[in-house]
Amino acid sequence: MTPSAAAITHYENFPVASWLCPPRLRPAIAALYWFARTADDLADEGDAPAPQRLDDLAAFRADLLAAAAGQPASARWPQVFGPLAPVIVQFQLPVPLLDDLLKAFEQDVCKTRDAAGYADRAELLDYCSRSANPVGRLLLHLYGVHDEQALAQSDAICTALQLINFWQDLRQDIPRGRYYLPQDRCAALGVDPAGLDQTPKATILIAEQVHWTLGLMQQGAKLVHQVPGRAGWELRLVVQGGLRILDKIEALNFATVQHRPTLRKGDFAVMAWRALWM
């Protein structure tokens, strides 16, 4: 599988390096994808204990900094830093944004280790500022879009995509010790985030988060008119994909503790039609 094809199937926060992307940017987007994908795997895949995961992420960061400084990286991840090093130079990528992704993955490891959740929406937004928003900002950098309004809209879209992934995956995440529903709202509604059942109060809680997330996506959606050419059309499909998942969650009466909504072939026709009218 090529990097462009793999981007469709695995790392949920990264838009696809597809045929819609400008050809000159596809290698750069694929290199960024593999950086994020590999770091996410270090944080999340397999059965390594938390200290080993944190050590691996620290080594990964050292290779990032070496590549950014024009120095040789270690031999551990040549498939990542071989392509990424020239992309950093060619496009003058903001390395702190790449480092923010690593900080988010380290936070994932620590939260899972401690079976810790998020106190409120502000804490979730703070996490998304590192786990999701750098992706959009890196892509806008490649597309030559730098104004503050566009960056804020990108942040809203990327945060919404991250949150959609949380509300979509409750059925999988909770048994793995990952708790994303805001603890203050859990407490207010008398819901146990670690032992969540699809009670009426849990349904209210999930519906609140879905409606909040919808507002964030709508807040950022006008960005599609600022991203040029084919990339703008790709962004339209990314936004519509997120909105379609929210539609499906609502159609399930917000019962994502019991069911995980997914996109099917017919949904892509709906997404394409809606993308035309954005």
What is the CATH classification number for the domain harbouring 105? 1.10.600.10
Are 49 and 161 found together in one domain?
A: no
Are 141 and 272 found together in one domain?
A: yes
Tell which of 86, 114, 142 closes a domain. 114
Are 152 and 28 found together in one domain?
A: no
Q: Is the pLDDT of residue 16 over 80?
A: no
The number of domains in the chain is 2
Distance CA 254, CA 205 (A): 9
Q: Is the pLDDT of residue 230 over 90?
A: no
Are 169 and 72 found together in one domain?
A: no
Confidence of residue 7 (pLDDT cuts 50, 70, 90): very low
- Is the overall model pTM greater than 0.85, yes or no? yes
Give the domain extent around 167: 118-278
Q: Residue 278 has what pLDDT? A: 85
Distance CA 165, CA 100 (A): 19
Average pLDDT over every residue of 252-276: 93
Q: Is the pLDDT of residue 14 over 90?
A: no
